């Protein structure tokens, strides 16, 4: 059969963007991808000239593409990059991506710090959970975010760049609506959180669909590890992901619209939400906390008891 052609140049297409009904070849897809990456950084004022950026580098496709694109961007917008990897201690899963993370940081000449649950929390995620994986995402999320924040701060980073993509953002918006936790939605993207111990997060892939991150990685020869976290099946996010992907197939552009609705509401509610973005200081460790003590310390107490 004759190959489908690029809507821009007539070369063989590699992707069809259903939400704009456009075919793109490898060259035009890469151009579009990189242009959107840069415009997202600009739109949210994510990076200032000379910023020291800690990149959360799991070694999965999203964080690896993020590091590559930031490294490319640093040619035009000078910034210092440092990579941080958290080894949660998930047997048969993290080892492969850890190898990719090490290789990628070395290839780009980026300083790389690896921290682990085992060393920094006292137990691997597997040991914390034992046979019951149902709370995996709660423990993993809180402890990983805590370690990333502490390590980024220790490294003197101005910002912490995360590989969250459009799918992650749309899922987070829906999950928090479904759980009636509007304050958490506002904290996901809102860069207004100010706290001396908190390293502000940036998410330059915010407007990029996850599938496009994978295709971009493949087009650039970036290795993708095709493995799912063994605890993913317990996650509420997994159900939301499935539903959103089915909606996207039926109504292309759904994920963009979910994020767009959230951003519009966020803008409209700017004055009203100031309270949600104020963080307290944990009475035990001094880290940012939404209550008297941070979730990290509460979990450490549970793990040690």
Partner 1 sequence: MELFVDGKRKSLRHSGDISALLKKLGVRREEVVVKLNGRLAPETSEVGAGDKVEVIKVVFGG
**Residue 16 is a binding residue for partner 1 (CB under 8 A):** yes
How crowded is residue 302: how many other Cβ atoms within 10 Å of its Cβ?
11
**Residue 10 is a binding residue for partner 1 (CB under 8 A):** no
State which residue, 3 or 122, has the beta carbon closest to partner 1. 3
With CB under 8 A as the contact rule, which of the stretches 45-53, 214-222, 267-275, 290-298 interacts with partner 1? 214-222
**Residue 122 is a binding residue for partner 1 (CB under 8 A):** no
CB of 23 to partner 1, least distance (A): 6
d(CA 129, CA 131): 6
**Residue 48 is a binding residue for partner 1 (CB under 8 A):** no
As to burial, measured by CB atoms within 10 angstroms (0-12 exposed, 13-18 middle, 19+ buried), residue 13 is: buried
CB of 147 to partner 1, least distance (A): 17
State which residue, 73 or 258, has the beta carbon closest to partner 1. 258
Nearest to 184 by CA among 246, 141, 150: 141
**Residue 1 is a binding residue for partner 1 (CB under 8 A):** yes
Among 32, 36, 37, 60, binds partner 1 (CB under 8 A): 60
**DSSP state, 213?**
H
State which residue, 3 or 183, has the beta carbon closest to partner 1. 3
With CB under 8 A as the contact rule, which of the stretches 187-195, 207-215, 260-268, 296-304 interacts with partner 1? 207-215
**Residue 270 is a binding residue for partner 1 (CB under 8 A):** no
Q: Binding to partner 1 (CB under 8 A): which residues in 129-168?
A: 167
- The torsion angles phi and psi of 77, rounded to 5 degrees, stand at -125, 90
d(CA 173, CA 188): 9
Nearest to 54 by CA among 152, 131, 148: 152
- The torsion angles phi and psi of 69, rounded to 5 degrees, stand at -70, -35
Q: Binding to partner 1 (CB under 8 A): which residues in 215-244?
A: 215, 218-219, 224, 226-229, 231-233, 235, 237-238, 241-242
Among 28, 36, 61, 144, binds partner 1 (CB under 8 A): 61
Give bridge partners of residue 286 from the DSSP assignment. none
In sequence order, the 6+-apart residues with CB closer than 8 A to the CB of 53 are 47, 70, 79, 80, 81, 82, 157, 158, 159, 160, 161, 202
**Residue 214 is a binding residue for partner 1 (CB under 8 A):** yes
Q: How many residues lie near partner 1 (CB under 8 A)?
A: 38
Torsion of CA 138, 140, 142, 147, to 10 degrees: 180
Among 43, 111, 181, 249, binds partner 1 (CB under 8 A): 249
State which residue, 17 or 285, has the beta carbon closest to partner 1. 17
d(CA 82, CA 74): 12
**Residue 211 is a binding residue for partner 1 (CB under 8 A):** yes
State which residue, 113 or 220, has the beta carbon closest to partner 1. 220
List the alpha helices (DSSP H) in 1-124.
Answer: 26-43, 61-73, 94-108, 117-120
Give bridge partners of residue 86 from the DSSP assignment. 115
Binding residues vs partner 1 (CB under 8 A): 1, 3-4, 12-16, 23, 26, 60-61, 93, 167, 209-211, 214-215, 218-219, 224, 226-229, 231-233, 235, 237-238, 241-242, 245-246, 248-249
């Amino acid at each position: 059969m004759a190959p489908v052609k690029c809507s821009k140049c007539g070369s063989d297409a590699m992707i069809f963007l259903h939400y704009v009904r456009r075919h793109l070849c490898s060259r035009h897809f890469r151009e579009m991808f990189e242009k959107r990456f840069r415009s997202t950084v600009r739109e949210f004022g994510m990076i200032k000239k000379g910023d020291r950026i800690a990149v959360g580098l799991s070694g999965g496709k999203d964080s690896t593409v993020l590091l590559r694109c930031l490294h490319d961007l640093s040619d035009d917008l000078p910034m210092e990059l440092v990579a941080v990897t958290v080894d949660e201690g998930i047997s048969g899963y993290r080892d492969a991506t850890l190898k990719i993370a090490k290789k990628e940081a070395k290839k780009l000449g980026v300083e790389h710090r690896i921290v682990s649950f085992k060393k920094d929390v006292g137990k691997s995620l597997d040991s914390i959970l034992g046979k019951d994986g149902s709370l995996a995402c709660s423990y993993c999320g809180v402890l990983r975010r805590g370690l990333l924040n502490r390590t980024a701060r220790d490294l003197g980073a101005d910002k912490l760049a995360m590989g969250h993509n459009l799918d992650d953002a749309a899922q987070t918006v829906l999950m928090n609506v479904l759980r009636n936790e509007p304050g958490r939605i506002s904290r996901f993207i809102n860069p207004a959180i100010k706290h001396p111990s908190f390293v502000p997060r940036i998410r330059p892939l915010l407007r990029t669909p996850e599938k496009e991150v994978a295709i971009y990685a493949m087009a650039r020869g970036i290795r993708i590890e095709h493995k799912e976290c063994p605890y993913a099946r317990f996650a509420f996010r997994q159900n939301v992901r499935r539903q959103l992907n089915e909606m996207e197939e039926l109504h292309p552009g759904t994920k963009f619209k979910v994020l767009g609705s959230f951003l519009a509401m966020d803008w409209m509610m700017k004055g009203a939400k100031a309270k949600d973005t104020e963080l307290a200081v944990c009475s035990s460790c001094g880290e940012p906390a939404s209550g008297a003590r941070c979730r990290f310390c509460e979990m450490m107490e549970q793990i040690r008891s």
